[in-house]
Structures are given as C-alpha cells and as structure tokens.
Amino acid sequence: MSTTHGQPGLSSEQRSTIRSTILRTRHALEDELRRQFEKYGIYEKERLSIDTLTHLSDEEIHTRRTLDAAIERELESTEGDVERSITNYVREATKTYLNRFVALKAIEVRGLVEETITERPEYGNRSYMHHTVAEIAGELTNAPDDGFGAALDLAYQEIGAEIRMIFEESEHTVIELDAQVREEVLDELDAIDDEAWESDEALGWVYQYFGEEEREEIDERIDDENYKIAGTDIATKTQLFTPRYIVEWMVDNSLGRTWLEMQGGHTNIDDEENCFYLAPLEESLIDRETKPVEEITVLDPACGSGHLLFYAFDVLYQMYLEEGEVPEKYIPREILRNNLYGIDIDSGAAQIAALALYLKAKERSPDVTIPRLNIVSADAVLINGDRKQEVLNRARSELEEEILKQIWRSFDNIREWGSLVQIDDPIDQIVDEHRDTFESKGQTQFTPEGEITAQSTFVSGGKEETWEELKVRLVENVREVADAALEQDDLVEEMFATEVGKTVQLLDVLHEQYDVIVSNPPYLQSKKMGENLKEFIRSNYAAKVDAYGAFIERCLNFAKEDGYVSMITPETFMYQYYFRGFRSALISDANLTDHLHISNRDQAYMNIASIMRPIADESPLPSRYLRIVEADKKPAAANRITRSCRQGEENDQIFTIDQETFAEIDRTPFLYRFGKEVLDLFVEHSNFGDRCEVKQGLSTADDEQFVRKWWEIPTSSIGERYVRYQMSGTNSVYYDYAADYLDWENSGEVVREAGANFRNEDHYFERGASFRGFGNYLVGRLHTEDMIFGHTSHFVSSEEYTAEIILAHLNSTIHRFIANGLNPGLHFEVGDGKRLPIKNKLQYRDAIEALVNVGIDQRRRLSKVTETSADYSPEFFVDVCESGVLDLCRFEDACKAKILTAHGLVDSILFDEYDISRDTQEQMYSDLPKNVAHYPLTQSDYSSSCDEFNDRLTVEQLDPADRKKAVATIKESDEMDLRELALETELSPLTIAALRENHELYTEAEKERAAGRVLSFIVGKIFGRWEPDPSQKATSNEILVFGADSDSPARLVENVIDETFPAPATINEQLTDSLGRDPISWLRDRFFRYHHVDEYKRRGQRNPLYWQLESPEGAFSCLVYYHGIDTNTLPKLRGRYLDSRIEKLENELETLNSQITGDDPEKELLQRKETVRNDLADVREFRDTIDEMIDDGLTVDIEKGIWENIKEWDQYEVLETGLPKLKSSYSR
C-alpha cells in the first residue's frame, strides 16, 4: 500500500495527454450542447416560447420542458441570472456526459464490461458490444449512428444498477448528443493508452484538468475585476489534486493509527508493506476500545475525486483481512456499504469519486454486487414557494415549523457552504429556546452540558415522541411532499422531489459523527469570497479568514469523541495574526498529534498535513512535527524522514513538543522548530512590544500616483515637495538605498485628500530603524530624520535602545530565525516585530553599536556610487573610478566584505549575549545566510582598513598553494557572490575581496556592468544631469543622435572622459576591454535594453531616464533625456536630425544612381545603393511616425511619472526595444 511498494503514478507525458484530451473533449461537448440549446429555443439572453417552436417533435418538446425545469432550478441558486444559469447547466451536463464516457472507458479497460468503445478489425471496426447489437438486432444499425447508441445504452444498463450516480438519467442527460460529436469524443478518450486508464491517478487528473481553464479565468477576474468567488465557481476554484505520498501519510496516520490503537500488538498494520508512513510516537498513542471494522467510519467532507477515500479502501481491506470476520470476496462490498463516506459540492467530482471506489471494489471482487456507495453531492436546490409552504403546513407545532424552516435555510446556499453546513447545532438552539416549555411540562431530559438528550420526550400534536423520533418524522414529512410531487406529472415538481431526495441523503451524512475524517479542504481567503459564504463563515466559525480554517473546525465537529482528523492545508493557521483566536481554541480543544510540514506558503498551497483528535479535559499528549520544507524532492524526503522514525534514528528535522508551550508566546504561534532554548527567550526576556515603539506607516492608497523614484522628479523638488519614503525596499542590511520619494507638498495635502491612511504620523521624520514587510528573512535598516516610513516598512524606535542596537537585533540570525517562525511566509507584520525578544541589559552594547555603524557607513558608501539612489555623488563616483573602470568593482567588493564581516561579528556577539548553544546556532543557519566573519583573514591582506573590527578577526598566514587553490576556485565560480565564495574557500570575505582585486578575478558580467555604469554617468554628464547649472551640460539639447555630424556621441563621450577623469586613457582602455567592443557601438546596441532599463525600474515597471528612439530597421537611433523633453523636442528631432538625415541619404542615392551606369556596374555600388534605399525608406517611415506624434501633441508630463509617459510613447513603437519585450507581462 505504501508509496515505495505501491503503484507508480502517471508519467508527465501521460498526464499531458489526459490534460489535452479532457480540455478538447470538454470544448467539443460544450459547443454541441450550446448548439442544441439554440435548436430548443434557449439563448443566453432569452428563452423562446414553446408555442413558437413548431419544428420540435412531441419528444423534443418534452426535452425542452425538462430543460426549462432545470434552468428554473438553476435560477434559484443564481438569483435569477439567466446567463449564469445556462452556463451552469451546460457545464454540469458536459461534466456528466464526459464522466459517463470516462467511466465506461475506465471500466472497459479493467474488463468489467464488454468492450463498448474500443473498435477491433475482427468486429468490422466496431466494438464488441456494437458488433453484438448488430448481430442480435440488425435493424438498429439502420439508425444514423449505426446502432452505436443502442450499444452504449446496453453498457450503461449493465453497470448503471451499481453506480447510479453517473449512469442514471437526469435533467443533465436529456439532450441527445449528435452521433458524430459523441464518436469524436469517444475516439479521443480511446486514444489514451490503456496503461494510463488503469492507473489509480487517472480519474483524479481528469477531474483536475476539467476545471483548469475555468480556474485560470477566475484568477484573471480576481486580478482584473477584484471578483469575489461565489456559487458554482467555488467548486471550480478550489479543486486541487492531492499527491499520492500525502494521501498515504494522512490515511496511514489516522485510519491506520486508529486500528493500531485498537489492536496493539495484534496487528501488523504498521508494517512497511501495509501503512509505511505509520511510525507513531509511542507516548502519543492512546488506549482505544476495540470494535468491528464494519463499524469504523471514514468521512471526506470535501472528497473531490476521492483520492483519499480510494487509499483508505486499501487500509480498510487490510483491516478486514486481519479481523477475519468477513469472507475476502465480500470485503469490498462491506467497505463501500459501511466504512467510506464522501461529500462534495461539485456533482461531477462526486461522480468521479464514486466511480473510483466502484472500480476499486470491482477489481478486487468483480462478481460481487455493490448495493450502495455513500458518496453524496452537496448541490441540492430546495425550491421555495408552494412546495416549501406545503411542507411547513404539515408541522404539528410552532417548534416543528421552526425546525423545518431552519433545514430549508441551511440548504439555501448548500452549493457554496457544502459540508460546512451544521444541521444539529441550529436545531438544538431552536429546541433550547423552547426549554422553558419542556421543563414546565417535565417531559424533557437535559445533559450536564444543557443539551437535550436523545431519550427526551415531548408532546407534539397530542402525541408523545422522543427527539430522535421527531427528527425522523420531520424528514419523512418532507419526503411525502416530494413523493406527492412526483404524481403530478410536472417536471418542476419532479425536480423538486429529486432535490429533496438529495437533501435527505446529505442530511443523513451531515448528521453523523465519524471515527476518521480525512480532507484536503477548499483554500479560499475571505477577501476573495462572495458575501454569502463570507458572512456564513464569519457567523459560524472562529477561523474566519480562510475556508480551510472553517473546515478544520467542522472536521473536529464531525469527529467522534476519540476520532482522528487528518487534513492537508496551508500553513498560515500556524502563525498568521488573523488565526490567533483560532489557534488558542485549537490547542485547547484538540491534541495536535502528528504533522508533516512539506513547504512554506510561498512554495505551494499544500503546506502541512496534520493529524489531530478532539480532547475535552484531558492533557494533550506530545506533538510531533516532521519537516521536509527545505527538501527538493518531497516524496523521497517524506520516505527518508519516515524511515528515521521507524528506525529510531536521530534526525534534526524531527521535532517533538508539548503543544501547551505554544500558549506561552503572544498570539500562540505554532513555533515547533524553536525548541526549549529559543522558547525560553520569550520567557526570560522582554519583547520589542514592551521596550520599543513598533509602528505601521503611511499607506497612500495609490503609490503609483504619489510615490516616485528619485530620478523621476526634478532635483529641485527633493526635500521641498518630495521627501524620502521608505517602502519595503531592498534586502540591504543597516541602510537602504534612497530610491523612493513621496509627494509631501503642504504636509501631504494631496495624499490626504485621496484617502491615504496616515498611521502613526507623530513618528515620521524620527530617527530609528525599520524592517521590511516583505522578504525571505528579516532585514532592518536605519530610518533617518528626513524619512517617512510606509506601511510595508515597519518603524521601530526606543528610549532605551539606540537605533544601532535595534538594527543589530533586526538583522541578527537569532531574530531572523524567530521572525521566520512567527511568520514563515514572505510578509512580516508589526505584530511579528513586537513579539521579538530583546535583552534588558546588553553586556557588549558599545561593541555592537560600533560594528553596526561600520555596516551603516559601508552601506552609505555603496549608495553614493549607485545612480538609482538619491545619495549618488558624481564627485565621489569619479574619485572611486580614479584609476579605471575596475576600481568600481574593487570598491564595491571592499564595502560588501566589511558589511559581511560586521554582520557576522554582531551575530557572534548576540549569540553570546543570549546564550545560544552551538547546536541551536547551526539549526538557525540551516536556512538563513551563513556567518562568514569567523573565516581567517590572511596576514598579507590585513590592512589599516580592517582596524574598525578591533582585533576581532582571525589573522593567519596563507600557504602559497592554498592561495593558488583559492584563486582557482574564485576564477571558476562565475555566479558566486562574496558570501558564497567565502563559504567555498573558507576564507574571510575581506581576503576574497583582496584576491579578486590583486588577480583581477571579476566576471565578464561584472566588468560589463561596471563599464555600463561609467558610461551611464558619462551620458548623464553629456545631458547635464549632474550639473547644478544646466548651461554646463556637454550638449546643447536633450537629444543625442548616433551618427550625427555635429555633437557626435564619440566626440562628446571623449570630451567628458578627458575633462572628468584623472586617467582618461585607462578609462578608455578599460571601457573597451570590459564591454568587449567599442564603447559607442555598445552604447547604441546594448545600453538601453540590456543595462539602463534593468537599472532604472520599480516593481512592475520600467522607468528609464534615457529613452532610445529608433527607426523600425535601425537606420536612425538616438537617446533622449527624459527631463529635457518638452513641446519642442519632437519638432527639433524631426527638423534638425531626421530631415537632414533624409536629405543626406537622398543626395547619396542620387550620386549612386549617377555612378551606376553601363551593363556591368560595380557590385559594391549596387550593394551600397540597396542599403541607402532601405535606410531612406526606414528613416522616412520613422519621420512619419514622429509627425504623427507631433500632430497628437505628444510630450511628457512629469506629474504622471516615467512609466505612464513612456507607455504613451511606446504606443507609437518608436523605442529601440518596445515595452512588451522589456517587460513580458506588459502588452500594448
């Protein structure tokens, strides 16, 4: 039964074939049904009167009436939306037909029915069943479909008696498909190889792929329209296939565990060949009263295609074999009749689940009849109106009427609420409201908890009944009304009766409690829910923020007193702020027994499989967490960690904890990884919330309107109208680049008027620290007096601790580890910051502050040579590049090496301050950036620049051979940064920086980027960007034209280099060497697309400062400076440059024409003529486009920002590289 011994899954090629087939056949069936709807006078906007459809036969008129009744039922659930009702019907009918065909094929390949689909030459290219029909009733072959429909009907009758859910006739099968369409669909399904159809997984993938395109459409509507998911879209959106290894882990550790606890040493259910993943903690097992296997019930309340129940069948089969009370031949029948129950709001999914279990049973016992399958669809629609009133009229008392109304209310939105509907609790509440009446008459008994007992009696309509008898009679009353409806020969009434039947069946399942509940529930955040579902969950469940949380509660309600709940869910309930109340209730009401933590939520949705059981007053037994989050191959990792459990091996990814310790931490996060040493930090020390101000900042409500990158705004506006605004930013520790600026004119007047949220305004422009709201780990950076913090950069300040001490903690591995435990996602909240522990008195406070200041200073120095930071200093940049382009690489290496060293030394000091053991340190570093400060610095690389580390470094002599080896390692490691190189060589990052400098070990990409930055600086000088006086710019306008006679780029670049750099010859030489070509050709061919737009960007946008405009074929190209563009720019481009270029080309073409004479003109002249003619056409076309832009009055509006402006220009396709190529998600 285990993954290691069980059937292998489908190959990727087989899944791909199933996917494409299901999508094609779905489209074919939907198109056919919509075509037939038109035949029956049904359109998306209207339904024609039957009286006008004179082309329909009597049988077809009956079909039309059935369709009308079905649409009326749909209108009940869509609040009268005809178009949506028709779409719902078409989808359900398509699903039913396709499920029938899939079922028949799956049954056929298993030999459980005579071949009906597969055609054979020996049968005249008919199937065996079709051939048999032709032999027995040859007249049927005169039908348009050659009698194949009759063959299908025979097959349906043969298997439909046992699996009625798929093959019984319904309103969704009333349309007779066109024979050709049906044949094409069946041929497509038949083309899938038999091996795929025989796989246990095939039906699950059919179900998954059927809704794939709809899910994509729903996602697009969510993104584009803020669509709220409601109605039948809930079922489609929340479909998710559960991988086999997760299924086995869940079932082994719930159902298998139940049997193990009942049988103890008398079972081998936990053997590897049975339940491989069942390797429980001995101390977490309970003594359980034994009972017959036939009494052990398993429910999946969101069963989908039945993958969990399918495997539960195998485990139950083994349990029956061990018990030995039922002959093996009949075990499958007993499992389906007694043990397995499933509910789903998607009727198609329920059909697939029923089919999967039927096939499973028939494979084991093909000759045994399957009398019952307990799979129900929660999609009933109880029509209101006369039928409802008739049911209410049968009530004997006011109490009965209220109970019936409550049942009706509960099923009003069953398609959305599904298993979350709670029948008994609302009815018990109604009964409780009549408590005084019961008590006064003395016939009612109550439990110690105040609930009515099943044995209680009361008088209703003059007759004494028990509570259970009353419930049975009320349901029977509803059935009688439904039966009466069937006798009226009215299709709407028949449908009402059908829906009542489904409701009663669902009531039976919802009313029970179960020994084991297994589920992969819907994952749907409240912000994406429609109002009905959102309000229902908010009113009935503590876990209000996601449907899966409500399902955890509901599953615990479904469980018997000692039952197990096994679920695979996102991990967010373990730590998110919004689940804080739910967590407290959960650890009080349930024993969290076993967990398989598979992934973090940024990696996938199915993050953690959990086993739990309800507890009342008893103390919880130990909880165990198996962690495979960091593993790449999850099934293999699950197997390895299970083997560690089985063999009693030590494994640092297995954590055993008392769940009550979670309650000692504010908001009760499930921090299972922390262990006692880290958990004690919360007990022994204060937290940031006690000692610091931790605040959320300003939310503009529209960052695109009010926030600009510093290069987008005039320099004169910085500090006046625009102020520095700290957003989530980069992962730069200690100090972030000064990139974002907020419109603060009149203290943010325009931002206030737009509805911004000015949180904690009294802390704006205050010195302190902030930490990123988004990131793989916590990053703290200095917040200075000229800054405002945004809502994605949380501010921290304190009267007790300096900003440097706060930064030391925010960037420490201790606090990163804790923060990732508090919130393992990519989103850190203010509450996470408040819960971080901080020591009252630090022994090494001065040393910590000094090292943090080293980090801040080095970050500032990096910011000063970064053009996209407002700290950028052209003078400082030139000083850094004094000796050549590669000086920029050396400078950045030195800064980054010192930051890594300072950060690592602070880490080591804080480990001592908080008494963190070596083992815990290694655990913390296992998935966080490693400390490289302890690696030795070689004596020859030590210099006075290292003095700020106060002899904290290990200085050693490096053997020449080891140095040579280190150099070779660095040279071979093109993709590694300083930290990675330090780890690879086990040398200090300071030594790595020195080796790279001394041996010029910079990669080609690093050299090109450095040279590109130097050229970008030069372009800025040419346009006067770095000049306080614009008249000092090197060119007289805002346009730099490649190939121009005057103001040529080559001359202007050369002038700037000569006038600016102390060693111009070296700069020129290194530019050419680093770029691998002449700098001017690189500037034209690569600068804009491959360098500039990659440097100048913001999230989701490209914000270049220098725009390269180019003709379609590249005959004309120029750079235009954004801040220089005005209403004269395009006319100047047209008149001064394009006209002269066109004139020059025309003259050359005329000269060439005069030179090309005779019968044998020179080949070179002909080639040149062709080139000039093409260039001339190209430039003329570009000129025409520029004329169009001039006529449209195109310029730039600085207020709108670069992105909005460049999008307008891009519409004319004049950029050297259009925005769709620069940003793949953008389209014109």
Per-residue confidence band for 929, with pLDDT thresholds at 50, 70 and 90: very high
1193 burial class (0-12, 13-18, 19+ CB within 10 angstroms)? exposed
Helix (H, G, I), strand (E, B) or coil at 529: strand
Kindly state the average pLDDT of the residues 921-944.
Answer: 85
Kindly state the helix (H) or strand (E) to which residue 190 belongs, with its residue range. Answer: helix 179-191
Mean pLDDT throughout 507-520?
A: 91
pLDDT score of 224: 77
Whose structure tokens read 């003594």? Answer: 287
Q: Write down the pLDDT at residue 904.
A: 96
Looking at residue 241, what is its pLDDT?
A: 80
Q: Which residues pair with 782 in a beta bridge?
A: 769
Give the number of other Cβ atoms within 10 Å of residue 415's Cβ. Answer: 24
**Lowest-confidence segment of 34-43, 277-286, 594-603, 1014-1023 by average pLDDT:** 594-603
Q: 121 vs 137, 143, 833, CA distance in Å? A: 20, 21, 73
668 or 785: which leads in pLDDT: 785
Contact between residue 214 and residue 129 where contact means Cβ atoms under 8 Å apart: no
Contacts of 213 (CB under 8 A, 6+ apart): 23
Which of 338 and 676 is assigned the larger pLDDT? 338
144-165 average pLDDT score: 83
User: Percentage of the chain surpassing pLDDT 90?
Assistant: 58
4, pLDDT greater than 60? no
The Cβ-side half-sphere exposure at 1067, using a 13 Å CA radius, reads: 25
Q: Encode pLDDT of 572-627 as tens digits.
A: 899 888 898 999 999 999 999 999 999 987 666 789 999 999 997 788 999 999 99
Phi/psi of residue 283, each to 5°?
-75, -5
State the average pLDDT over residues 479-484.
58
pLDDT at 279 over 60: yes
- The amino acid that residue 1207 corresponds to is K
pLDDT digits (tens, 9 = 90+) for 631-645: 999 999 999 999 999
Strand, coil or helix: what is 232?
A: coil
Predicted confidence band of residue 1225 (pLDDT cuts 50, 70, 90): low
Backbone phi, psi, residue 1151, to 5°: -65, -45
**pLDDT confidence of residue 470:** 62
Question: What pLDDT, in 10s, does the model give residues 457-473?
Answer: 444 455 566 656 665 66
In this predicted structure, the answer to whether residue 47 has a pLDDT above a threshold of 60 is: yes
Q: pLDDT tens-digit profile of 1044-1059?
A: 766 789 999 999 999 9
Cβ contact 353:206 at 8 Å: no
Mean pLDDT over 848-868 rounds to 97
Specify the pLDDT at position 468. 61
Token duo for residue 5: 């011994």
Query: How many Cβ atoms from other residues are within 10 Å of residue 139's Cβ?
Result: 8
* CA distance to 96, 207, 375, 955, per residue, from 350 (Å): 11, 10, 6, 70
pLDDT tens by residue, 862-901 = 999 999 999 999 999 999 998 899 999 999 999 999 999 9
Residue range 1064-1085: average pLDDT?
94
Query: CA torsion 349→353→359→360, rounded to 10°?
Result: 150
Distance, in Å, from the CA atom of 925 to the CA atom of 814, rounded to the nearest integer, reads 9
State residue 5's pLDDT score. Answer: 44
8 A C-beta contact, residue 1035 and residue 1023: yes
Q: How far does CA 537 lie from the centroid of its chain?
A: 22
**DSSP β-bridge partners for residue 590:** 614
DSSP letter assigned to residue 42: B
pLDDT at res. 453? 45
Assess contact for 509 and 299: CB atoms under 8 A: yes
What is the reported pLDDT for 483?
58
Predicted local distance difference test score (pLDDT) of residue 767: 97
pLDDT tier for residue 452 given thresholds of 50, 70 and 90: very low
Token pair of 563 as six digits = 């039952």
Residue 397 has pLDDT above 80, yes or no: no
> In this structure, which CATH number among 2.60.40.420, 3.40.50.2300, 3.40.50.150, 1.20.120.1200 belongs to the domain 241-290+513-673?
3.40.50.150
pLDDT confidence of residue 1080: 95
Q: 452 with 428: CB under 8 angstroms? A: yes
CATH of domain 687-931: 3.90.220.10
| Residue 1121: strand pairing partners | 1106
Task: Determine whether 69 is exposed, middle or buried from the number of CB atoms within 10 Å of its CB (0-12, 13-18, 19+).
Answer: buried
**pLDDT of 647 strictly over 50:** yes
The DSSP-derived string for 406-458 is: HHHHHTTTHHHHGGG--SHHHHHHHHHHTHHHHHHHT---B-TTSPBPTT-EE
String of b and e for 708-733 (b: at least 16 CB within 10 Å)?
bbbbbbeeebbeeebbbbbbbbeebb
In this predicted model, what pLDDT tens digit does every residue of 700-736 receive, in sequence order? 989 999 999 999 999 889 989 999 999 999 999 999 9
Range with lowest mean pLDDT among 847-851, 1184-1188, 1221-1225? 1221-1225
DSSP string for residues in 887-916 = HHHHHHHHHHHHHHHHHHHHHHHHHHHTT-
Q: What is the residue-averaged pLDDT of the chain?
A: 87
With pLDDT > 70 as the criterion, what percentage of the chain qualifies?
A: 89
Sign of CA dihedral 682, 686, 692, 695: positive
Identify which of 839, 767, 787 has the alpha carbon closest to the alpha carbon of residue 808.
Answer: 839
Closest to 1087 in 3D by CA, of 1179, 1035, 1138, 1014: 1014
Question: Which two structure tokens, joined as six digits, stand for 672?
Answer: 């299972």
Q: How far apart are CA 1186 and CA 461, in angstroms?
A: 90
- DSSP label at residue 835: T
Which residue type occupies 179?
Answer: A
pLDDT at 263: 94
Give the confidence band of 496 by pLDDT, cuts at 50, 70, 90: low
Which pairs with CB-CB distance under 8 Å and at least 24 residues apart come from 628-634? 628/596, 628/597, 628/598, 628/653, 629/597, 629/598, 629/599, 629/600, 629/603, 629/927, 630/926, 630/927, 634/243, 634/245, 634/598, 634/599
371 Ramachandran zone, left/alpha/beta (phi>0; psi -120 to 50): alpha
Q: Work out the average pLDDT over 145-158.
A: 85
CA angle 669, 805, 735 (to 5 degrees): 95
**From CA 623, how far away is CA 663, in angstroms rounded?**
14
813-823 burial, b if ≥16 CB within 10 A, otherwise e? bbbbbbbbbbb
- How far is it, in rounded angstroms, from Cα 451 to Cα 434? 12
Mean pLDDT of 655-677: 87
Is the whole-model pTM more than 0.75? no
Residue 687, C-beta contacts closer than 8 angstroms, at least 6 positions apart: 666, 834, 835, 836, 837, 838
Mean pLDDT of 199-216: 87
Give the C-alpha distances (Å, rounded to integers) separating 757 from 527, 751, 754. Answer: 20, 9, 9
Poorest-pLDDT segment among 70-79, 384-393, 782-791, 850-859: 384-393
Give pLDDT tens digits for 793-840.
999 999 999 999 999 999 999 999 999 888 876 789 999 999 999 999
Domain ranges of the chain: 12-210, 241-290+513-673, 298-377, 386-405+418-502, 687-931, 1004-1222
For helices 803-810 and 813-822, give the axis angle rounded to 10 degrees: 60
- Higher local confidence (pLDDT), 144 or 554: 554
- Tell how strand 590-597 and strand 793-797 pair up: unpaired
Of 377-391, 652-666, 1065-1079, the poorest mean pLDDT is in 377-391
CA angle 1010-1013-1019, nearest 5°?
145
